[in-house]
Structure 1
Amino acid sequence: MTTTRFAPSPTGYIHVGNLRTALMNYLIARKAGGTFILRIDDTDPERSKEEYVDAIKEDLEWLGLSWDRVERQSERLDRYAEAADKLREMGRFYEAFETPTELDLKRKKQLNMGKPPVYDRAALALSDAEKDALRAERGQGVWRFKLDQERIEWTDGILGDISIDAASVSDPVLIRGDGQVLYTLASVVDDTEMGVTHVVRGSDHVTNTATQIQIIQALGGTVPNFAHHSLLTGPQGEALSKRLGTLALRDLRERGVQPMALLSLMARLGSSDPVELRTEMAELIDGFDIGRFGSAPTKFDVEDLFPLTARYLHDQPLEAVADTIAKVGVPDDLAAQFWNVTRENITTLHDLDGWWHLFRDGADPVIDEEDREFVAQAMAMLPEGPFDGDTWSTWTAQVKEATGRKGRGLFMPLRKALTGQSHGPDMSAVMPLLQVVKARG
């Protein structure tokens, strides 16, 4: 059975970069009728916060990305300890004691000599007595996985055939000196024991994947199908790393972005298929193909979400937005009329408040100097409310006859006087909703 996972660390809020990973793994599982696991990677007790665990679940639920089960790494520490013991018994795990400063000096020396800056495995030459002395002086060391220095190859679901020389990669640290199990080991153990068949993640993990493949093989597991998606950049190709805080999903939700607008964009961004607004998750699932994505950095512009959101809202029935309209203060008997008038003139649901304010309280009229006398004459001819669907055509016909104005010169000044705007919904539909006309005074 196809099994995928989304494995966020609860150290912050999910942003668009995380979402790309979550969505791809979700769509693969759902298209195959498989299992999608939400795995909370919370092995770092100092940085992991329960509030972020709740926020991750809340954001995924808002998007409609349902998971089949939740796993937490903090509840699986015994499994990682067993795996570590197995690697020690195999001679593939060794303790090293270099300080960060010492490692930095080694790297600089190697670079100066034109060599790749990889760990030199000096710790393997330490005697038991030397290790005891270092522990007494520095505390527990880190534990490194001893790579077989051969080429590591796999066919990537996006990048194609990958070949990495393990001799050009440092033996990865899997357990820190304070005993904290790092992602590289925990992820391998989890993926193996949970039967994960497909792993999609960012292209910054490619080297990490190479080392994990050897760890999986050492532990007797089955290597999943790996795919590494391109990283997102800003619209001009700039790095998004410093802006991701402002691209948190909850911030986008606050700005009025609709879930299906966001999912429609992210399900196609970076692929050879055009972005198409979808209104149902099933459509995204059916149309998803990981092989259609490319390796080039992918430009993401948050502004692209708003036209998609507007188009999504234009097609929504009253029932879908009734609660929002009620919160704005629109009476129930006007709700359908209000939605029909405003639906094609909003970008997000936040815009509804401004429209109701205009209808309820009247707009500050905008009157050009050359139209002042004309508007005053026209407003004197405006009948008392309430208005109906014929008020606009009847009134403007009378004004046209009295003033001789026609076309844009007739309609535009009157629209601006009544709504304060030069564009908007059909005025025949607007008039019945106007509760107050400020220009009358």
Structure 2
Amino acid sequence: MTVTVRFAPSPTGRIHIGNARTALFNWLFAQKHKGRFIQRFDDTDTARSKQEYADSILYDLHWLGIFPDATDYQSRRIQIYDDAVERLKKAGVLYPCYETPEELDLRRKIRRTRGLPPVYGREALTLTAKEIQDLEADGRRPHWRFLLPNFKSDPQEPERTDIHWNDLVRGEETVDLASVSDPVLVREDGTYLYTLPSVVDDIEMGISHVIRGDDHVTNTGVQIALFKALGADVPAFGHHNLLTTTTGEGLSKRTGSLSIEGLRSDGIEPMAVASLAVLIGTSENVQPMATMAELAGHFNPAATSKSAAKFDPEELVVLNRALMHSLSFADARDRLAILGISGDKAEPFWNAVRGNLDRLSDAVSWWRIVHEGPLEKPEFEPEELQFVREAFDLLPDEPWTATVWKDWTNKVKEASGRKGKALFLPLRLALTGLVSGPELADLLPLLGREGTLARRP
């Protein structure tokens, strides 16, 4: 059997880091088992689904390093779902219901007052042909529910019916089918809700493992019953914990919370996003992985906690910083060139500044400092100004070697008697306009003697 997984978002917005977690769990699982990854768009909600969102999702996945083996859209597969509906109707497990939302809400309230679970009571199964005729004459159109196999002979007498599965993430799981309502599979207007197309597609596409968020655990019991009703083998299931903010708030495509597009625009590296999205909420330490292959080596679905994974977006900056510090010039060259950083000085410049960057784009300001001087002219007290000017008079002659900073500051120290911060800080301010930054021993050869003298205040 070829391991086959899928990522199946609705294209109703841009995906966020929580969605990326699901995509990455599936991608890494497929990679570890030499399997296939199918990108499926659950776009049966035609009112909110847009092609521009589907395109942006594919772009985000490619940016993260996920490249689907196939891509499909549910909106193009309606006939397959129609055929499945007819099979379920013939089997007697899909039945029409005519209640309005208000009527259903009232029935749930009545059941609660009687100490019963607020599930659908299957009243539609008791309708006579005359009652159905009258309802339809009154303009009612049926929605269709799947009759769950939670009874022995009489659907009106459901009893505890446990569905068990060994979850890839959570271990042994059980859902009692008597605790949930018969799900609506087809709306009054003939369109499909999530459950039917999802199961039919999983069957048709040969999905062997369904890995998704743990908000779908209860759905799984229903879906296993539907797989069996359609005569199909049941895939393995895995439900990972969800990501929330530090305050416990969930993420939403509709609000754009921590969207992949936004993180990319903010200069966060794809492997920073992937490392956090996969490792947080697991027994693994959250650390930056340089490649997807390295991340796969640390990926273990069973090591994921059952509780929600709270994270601070600042953790992404920490991971990003670590990736910058270890990023080689060979890997950064093309991206630096796009930012205007190229030429003979590009590599020594990158090696000098990368340890001070949070984002690759931060290198631009340092490139300007090296070539044009401080972004803002530093101001000095009179005593400091005199010290700096005298220090510049002691600059060594060319050629400048890797020891020029040490040679210069030793001469300044001897002449002024200054040392430590009193010696170095005024020189750093004059050279860069900032109180911190890359090692001046690395920057000074890039400035050259002429460039350095140009910064004498």
* TM beyond 0.5: yes
SS class of match (2:345): helix
Structure 2 residue corresponding to 1:292, chosen from 274, 291, 303? 303
Aligned partner of residue 37 in structure 1, secondary structure: strand
Helix, strand or coil: the match of 1:227?
strand
1:80 aligns with 2:81: yes
- Distance in 1 between residues matched to 2:398 and 2:362, nearest whole Å: 25
Q: Is the 8 A contact 2:169 2:302 kept in 1?
A: yes
1:146 match: 147
2:335 corresponds, among 321, 324, 327, to: 324
Aligned counterparts, 1:217-366, within 5 A: 217-241=228-252, 245-363=256-374, 364-365=377-378
Which residue is 1:92 aligned to?
93
Aligned CA distance change for structure 1 residues 136 and 432 (closer, same or farther; 3 Å): farther
Structure 1 pair 289/277, CA: closer, same or farther in 2 (3 Å)? Answer: same
Alignment of 1:6-405 (within 5 A): 6-149=7-150, 150-241=161-252, 245-363=256-374, 364-365=377-378, 367=380, 371-382=384-395, 389-405=402-418
Which amino acid counterpart does residue 337 of structure 1 have in structure 2?
Answer: P
What secondary structure is seen at the aligned counterpart in 2 of 1:154?
A: strand
- Residue 157 of structure 2 corresponds to none
The residue aligned with 2:456 is 440
Contact 1:418 1:438 (C-alpha < 8 Å) held by counterparts: no
TM-aligned CA distance change 1:398 to 1:259, over 3 Å: same
CA contact (8 A) 1:3 1:195 kept: yes
Identical columns (%): 47
Q: Residue 267 of structure 1: SS of its match in structure 2?
A: helix
Give 1:407 deviation, angstroms. 2.6
Instruction: Give the letter aligned to residue 59 of structure 2.
Output: E
Could you tell me how far 1:10 is from its partner in structure 2? 0.9
How many angstroms does 1:242 deviate by?
A: 8.8
Task: Tell me: CA distance 1:241–1:45, structure 2 relative to 1, closer, same or farther (3 Å).
Answer: closer
Deviation at 1:62, TM superposition (A): 0.7
Matched AA of 1:440: R
Counterpart CA distance in 1 for 2:452 and 2:52 is: 46
Contact 2:430/2:456 (8 A) holds in 1: no
Contact conserved, 1:389 with 1:429, CA < 8 A, in 2? yes
What amino acid is aligned across from residue 21 of structure 2 in structure 1? R
Instruction: Give unmatched runs, 5+ long, in structure 2.
Output: 151-160
After superposition, the Cα gap between the structure-2 partners of 1:324 and 1:233, relative to the gap in structure 1 and judged at 3 Å, is: same
Instruction: Go from structure 1 to structure 2 and tell me whether the alpha carbon gap of 1:185 and 1:300 turns closer, same or farther (over 3 Å shift).
Output: same
Q: Distance in 1 between matches of 2:252 and 2:342?
A: 45
- Sort the Cα spacing of 1:121 and 1:300 in 2 relative to 1 into closer, same or farther, 3 A: same
Please state whether the residue corresponding to 2:145 is helix, strand or coil: strand
Q: By how many angstroms is 1:389 displaced?
A: 4.0
SS in structure 2 at match of 1:170? coil
Pick from 437, 442, 445 the counterpart of residue 429 of structure 1: 442
Q: Which amino acid aligns with 1:355?
A: W
Q: 1:369 to 1:157 in 2, by over 3 A?
A: farther
Structure 1 position 368, deviation (Å)? 5.6
TM-score by length of 2: 0.90
- Provide, for residues 171-228 of structure 1, a one-character-per-residue CA deviation record: whole Å limited to 9, x for no partner: 1010111111111000111111211111111111111111111111111111111111
* More displaced stretch, 97-106 vs 375-384: 375-384
TM-score w.r.t. the length of structure 1 is: 0.93
Deviation, structure 1 residue 414: 1.1
Q: CA offsets per residue over residues 69-111 of structure 1, 9 Å max, x none?
A: 1122112111111111111111111111111111112222222
Residue 341 of structure 1 contacts residue 430 of structure 1 at CA under 8 Å; is this kept in 2?
Answer: yes
SS at match of 1:415: helix
Tell whether the 8 Å contact from 2:248 to 2:310 is kept in structure 1 after alignment: yes
Taking structure 1 as reference, are residues 369 and 25 closer, same or farther at Cα in structure 2, changes over 3 Å only? farther
Secondary structure at the counterpart of residue 120 of structure 2: coil
Q: CA deviation at 1:388?
A: 5.9
Instruction: State the superposition RMSD in angstroms.
Output: 2.2
**Cα distance in structure 2, aligned partners of 1:31 and 1:239:** 29
Contact kept, 8 Å, 1:365 with 1:438, in 2: the verdict is no
> What amino acid maps onto 1:330 in structure 2?
I
CA distance in 2, matches of 1:384, 1:128: 104
Q: 1:366 to 1:135 in 2, by over 3 A?
A: farther
CA distance in structure 2 between the partners assigned to 1:438 and 1:110 by the alignment:
84
Whether contact under 8 Å (2:209, 2:236) holds in the other structure is: yes
How far did 1:43 drift? Answer: 1.1
Inter-CA distance 5–331: structure 2 relative to 1 (3 Å threshold): closer
> How far does residue 159 in structure 1 lie from its aligned partner after superposition?
2.0
